[in-house]
Amino acid sequence: MAYCSITQVRTLTNIASSDVDDAAMSALIAIADTYCDSRISAAGIPVPVPSPAPDTLSLASANFTAALCISRKRTDLSRPVSLSLGGDLSFSTSPDTEIQYFETSGQRFLAAFIADATGSYETIIDVVDGE
């Protein structure tokens, strides 16, 4: 059973099923859950976590999935960084900033889940390439 629902991800991203269908969204959730399981397992917690997932884990999965979903839309060019239709009509956004926001939120919720599950409320430090 997935740690989060498609509805949670759609609520976070406002991406409609006509943009990313439920099958693709389910596949992205599975990828996010696999990432969560690898971190949870590394912390010594048995995986998969029994259903229903605690709120912190559900929110971690939903945020990681949101990041994956926006990244997917960025790479298929349906969510470009900017678009100009000529004249005074232009649009710009920052998918990389959105992706980073959701990844950071996911890390925070996952750290909170692990801390709750292990009873260890120490600061969790992660070294990320490039930082």
**pLDDT tens for each residue of 19-56:** 899 999 999 999 999 999 999 999 999 999 999 999 99
Q: What percent of the chain has pLDDT over 90?
A: 65
* pLDDT confidence of residue 120: 76
Q: Which helix (H) or strand (E) holds 68?
A: helix 55-75
* pLDDT confidence of residue 56: 97
**pLDDT tens for each residue of 55-101:** 999 999 999 999 999 998 776 655 555 555 666 765 556 788 899 99
Lookup: tokens for 22:
């439920």
Angle at 130 between CA 126 and CA 131, to 5 degrees: 50
